Amino acid sequence: MAQECCNTDEKDTIKKMPAAAGKPKEHEHKEGENHDHEDDEHEEDDGHNHGADDSDDWKSHWPLLTSLAILLVMLVLEFGFKFKPVFPVDLIIYVAAYLLAGYNVLNLAFRKAIRFDFFNEFFLMSVATIGAFAIGSYSEGVAVMVFYSIGEWFQDAAVNRAKRSIKALLDIRPDEVTVMRNGNTEVIHPNEIQVDEIIQVKAGEKVALDGELNSDAATFNTAALTGESKPDTKRKGEQVLAGMINLDKVSEIKVKSLFKNSKLSKILEMVQDATARKSQTQLFISRFAKIYTPIVFALAVAVCLIPYFFADPYIFNVWFYRALVFLVISCPCALVVSIPLGYFGGIGLASKNGILFKGSNFLDVITKVNVVVMDKTGTLTKGVFKVQDVVTKDIDKEELVKLTAALESNSTHPIAKAVVEYAGDNAKSLKAENVEEVSGHGLKGTVDGKNIFAGNVKLLKKFNIEYPAEIDNLVDTVVVIAVNDKYAGYITIADEIKEDAKLAIDEMHKLNIKTVMLSGDKQAVVSKVAQTLNVDNAYGDLLPEGKVEKVQALKNEGKHIAFVGDGVNDAPVVALADAGIAMGGLGSDATIETADIVIQNDQPSKIVTAMKIGKITRSIVWQNITIAMVVKVIVLVLGAGGVATLWEAVIADVGVALLAILNAVRIQRMKM
């Protein structure tokens, strides 16, 4: 069908890519998503690249270039020197040029015609150019085919460039890795590495698998994953992901995920999937082309035959020529090429900025969002607890921290880890004995001969230890400590707000987008964060089903919702929202799998960037639709009225197609 024009079908891109691990998502029911592939059933590999390979080598286009040269020489002789070869010499020369330029188009038209598929641009161009020869307009027939083929060449080059950008992304996965086994190193394929094995990454090499740093420290370029080129220094035990580039010395990494399950492999799978999911605009244009092309054929026949009943005198060649002009200008290539190319450019621009759209449909969806609902921990805050303050009574501050850290070092709770990290080496100087966990309350044990209690206020109440009443009114998380059954002080701990969280909220407000924060944390903490960031509404003490209820209530009001989260408990809400956005750095696999958009560097400000990219893409796509339709309607009218010739028709058709393609390609060059 008409959408096969210019070999732009995204499926063709997918076919040429290695399959990534993982299964298709099961949440593909959202607004803007459509799995009616009726327009895919005719997608074939016989698109007309005219012999173009991915390198766009000029040598592969020698027949077309030869035809162009012949046409130019003949036109110079005819119009410059007033010399025209006699019949049949001129016919032979023009036929040779015509076949050199149009062999592929004629071949495709014939192959489709024997399957009774007549309503496509190959058959359209073949009829128009053969018709021009039939009425003696040899030079115009050749010109139509030559310039049409040149337009296709440029279109193929644009599409191939887009394909190469995806292939380059696939190439960032290393094909081999150095693993340490039995005291020796060997180089093998990453597929053969098992979890908990140690791999070596030399300076300048890419990390092949997800893991944690086994060396003391190393610096990595994370641009492939996050879009940020700023080096990121990791310490021993911190997470290192496949795709990062080691920037300094040889580093050792303990593998924590198989090759097929790495975050990079999942990213590549998402990008491949994204090219297969079409936006509503693409689907509309594909279906429009199916209806548009036969209508154009019918109108061309009408332009040729109906004047017989009204024109006096009726000259068949005149009206037949006008019908040919009508056919040439009606070719829908500018639409069916530039529109998917525009969306593809939007996906590429987002990827460069560390944002993954899982389909061009979501570029449309995000432009309609008017309420952004966000989780707190891991989305607006870092999800990393830090000690904020230490308050003591009748004990030295350093001594209290040392005793508490010694006890808390026996727990894996994030709050306990925050205390131990704050204490530093002091946490190792003492050892706790007889440690007992009081479920839901905290820890008790013996440190340096002293009975230590560390936990929430419930712990002290349980053991009848008095503490200041004002502690109950503190907003931050509090670790209350008692030494030898007497209150000794408390440590406040809070999650840090991300550096760009306030900027993100402010930018959303500038776009007239309402902001809502949902959290399972206590309401006092949630309200404090919301006030700091100027979030419009904030709700705390929510279970996962409570978050679902809040989002559903907003949807019932007719709001278009984007939900941003990172935890496993956020997956149901992400699936419910019109646009589900996952924080991909710290986010759980379940949430990333469910989300429609993934932010790789966990920056809230990227939410606004994603919205802007969606709006830019949609704007350019509709610019192309408007330009193409206006130009075509004008030339169609002029052609039917006998004002426009085949020359004007082909120049207008190729010109508007190239203009639309250049407009679409510029998306990939934009800076955000």
In what helix (H) or strand (E) does residue 143 lie, and over which residues does it extend? helix 138-170
- Whether the upstream peptide bond of residue 231 has omega within 30° of 0, thus cis, is no
Angstrom distance (rounded) from CA 167 to CA 222:
19
Cβ distance 121 to 293 under 8 Å? yes
**Which SS3 state, helix, strand or coil, does residue 372 take?**
strand
DSSP secondary-structure letter at 130?
A: H
Cβ distance 350 to 356 under 8 Å? yes
Angstrom distance (rounded) from CA 296 to CA 575:
43
Angstrom distance (rounded) from CA 427 to CA 416:
11
DSSP secondary-structure letter at 513?
A: -
**Which residue(s) pair with 206 in the sheet?**
245
Angstrom distance (rounded) from CA 130 to CA 582:
55
- Rounded to 10 deg, the angle between the 138-170 and 121-134 helix axes is 160
Residue 413 tokens, joined: 């709770």
Angstrom distance (rounded) from CA 25 to CA 22:
9
Name the region of 51 (left: φ>0; alpha: ψ -120 to 50; beta: rest). left
Of 205, 282, 291, 281, nearest to 240 by C-alpha is 205
The reply to whether 375 belongs to the active site is: yes
Contacts (Cβ under 8 Å, ≥6 apart) of 17: 166, 167, 170, 272
Of 504, 491, 471, 353, nearest to 416 by C-alpha is 491
Angstrom distance (rounded) from CA 403 to CA 435:
13
Neighbours of 486 (CB within 10 A): 14
Angstrom distance (rounded) from CA 252 to CA 42:
51
Query: Which of 210, 232, 375, 602 is an active site residue?
Result: 375
478 φ, ψ (degrees, to nearest 5): -125, 135
Cβ distance 138 to 91 under 8 Å? yes
DSSP secondary-structure letter at 186?
A: E
Cβ distance 493 to 476 under 8 Å? yes
Residue 208 tokens, joined: 């092949």
Cβ distance 497 to 525 under 8 Å? no
Which residues have a catalytic role annotated?
Answer: 375
